[in-house]
């Protein structure tokens, strides 16, 4: 990953794989790909023990990720949802920020 980032810093907008020419991507999961079981388990444990769950940039309609909101609510955590569109959990959230996360997140974390 660090080598790919160096190529971006050097001016390549979207560096392809040097072996096969394919798309390089970090440890993100695209729609239709399975989540990494260890990551999911870690996220569920975190939701069970968090004080605040910040759901960012998710429609919260696809499980198992969407299930993290009710898990956090069940243990009394506050829930804040940041998404461009309404989600099924907006009614049970303590806060909803509707907007493009590229605009909203920098303001939330104080770098805008």
**Minimum distance from CB of 12 to Zn ion (Å)?**
15
Residue 53: both structure tokens together: 């769950």
32 near Zn ion, rule: CB under 5 A: no
23 near Zn ion, rule: CB under 5 A: no
22 near Zn ion, rule: CB under 5 A: yes
Answer for which of 8, 17, 36, 74 binds Zn ion (CB under 5 A) is: 17
Q: How would you write 26-92 as a 3-class SS string?
A: CCCCCCCCCCCHHHHHHHHHHHHHCCEEEEECCCCCCCCHHHHHHHHHHCCCEEEEEECCCCCCHHH
Give the residue at shortest CB distance from Zn ion: 17
Q: Which is nearer to Zn ion, 22 or 37 (CB)?
A: 22
Q: Which is nearer to Zn ion, 19 or 26 (CB)?
A: 19
């Amino acid at each position: 990953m660090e080598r790919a980032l160096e190529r971006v810093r050097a001016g390549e907008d979207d560096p392809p794989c040097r072996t096969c020419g394919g798309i390089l991507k970090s440890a993100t999961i695209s729609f239709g790909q399975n989540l990494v079981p260890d990551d999911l388990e870690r996220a569920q444990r975190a939701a069970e023990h968090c004080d605040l769950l910040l759901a960012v940039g998710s429609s919260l309609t696809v499980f198992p990720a969407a299930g993290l909101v009710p898990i956090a609510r069940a243990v009394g955590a506050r829930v804040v949802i940041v998404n461009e569109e309404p989600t099924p959990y907006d009614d049970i959230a303590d806060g909803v920020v509707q907007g493009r996360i590229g605009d909203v997140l920098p303001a939330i974390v104080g770098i805008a």
